[in-house]
Amino acid sequence: MIFVDSKLYNGTVVAKFIPPATRYAYGWLARFWIPETIARCVQTALYAIYYRADAQTPNPRSTRSCRDRRRLYKVVVIAMFLLTLYQVDCNIQREPNLYRSLGVLHDADYKTARAALRKRAKQYHPDKVKPEAQHLAVDTFIRLRDTVNVIGDDHLRSAYNNYGPLALDCKGECSVNNKHISQAYVQQLSFYVTCIVESVILVRRGKWRWLWCPFVLITVLAVVEAYAELTDPALGIVPHAVASLLKLTRLSDRYLKFELVLILRAIVKASFVALTQLRRMNAAANMSTSIWRWAWY
């Protein structure tokens, strides 16, 4: 979950430079060993605070100690889940998009974008910029001008809102990067295939009762992606319902469509990881209980 995918979650800086095999091992270490270690350390600290120095703390293998450790483990898993989503949100908000660069809302029209460009252009006038910074000011103005042109073109704007900045090629005159859109379709297909495989694995291991949470999230993600990619006649009333829901929750004011898809995918991935962490905890608890019963009898 957290620190598993450094490209998406922007985990630790070190994870970007280590080999893939080591990164994979680090991901599994962060997935299973770290939450268990944190739960044990927190339990030890709480017992040291709760019990007096002359009192005897519960045995680490006692029923009470195992129960408390499982509760703390669940808290740690939930905290890592929320921290992962917080990291994804921070990464999205940190990356400037076309609308933030102009200082306009996501539903701004071409006229509003032009007014914002004129206001920003005053900051990059040669009389107000130092000579050594004029080249940077010119580049910034050209980028903002391209931004206004994208907002004024419905086709370019739709491609940007649905697939992000890589969907546009603005080396010369801005145009749609069809190669990136094709790659986005392949990544989308592989993501859903991976979700199906993970769901089948959980079902075969008898954990189907927990699948309602990622199933609901995957359904919401599929609806949002269909809303972003398909035309209105193909979905009927669904686009209007999704747009109304996003406006009601004010998610459309904070995120573009491709940003919302990134967050939903991160939530789905983190949910599957949390389920595997909880499954491992339950399996370890059942194994220890079986060993205790065998030793007792």
Structural domains of the chain ordered from first start? 6-96+211-296 (no CATH), 98-177 (1.10.287.110)
Dig out the tokens for 286 from the structure.
């059942």
Do 178 and 168 touch, CB atoms closer than 8 A? Answer: no
Output the six-digit token pair for 240.
């209007």
Eight-state DSSP code of residue 57:
P
- Nearest Cα neighbor of 104 from 151, 153, 156 is 151
- Residues in the chain where the model's pLDDT stays below 50: 1-16, 233-234, 286-297
Give me the pLDDT at residue 225, please: 75
Q: What is the pLDDT of residue 21?
A: 60
Predicted confidence at residue 289, as pLDDT, reads: 42
As a whole number of angstroms, the distance between CA 12 and CA 177 comes to 31
Q: Which pLDDT belongs to residue 267?
A: 85
Q: Which three-class secondary structure state does DSSP give residue 168?
A: strand
Encoded tokens for 140: 């910034």
pLDDT of 295: 36
pLDDT at 291: 37
User: Rounded distance, CA 98 to CA 287, Å?
Assistant: 54
pTM, to two decimals: 0.71
pLDDT at 53: 66
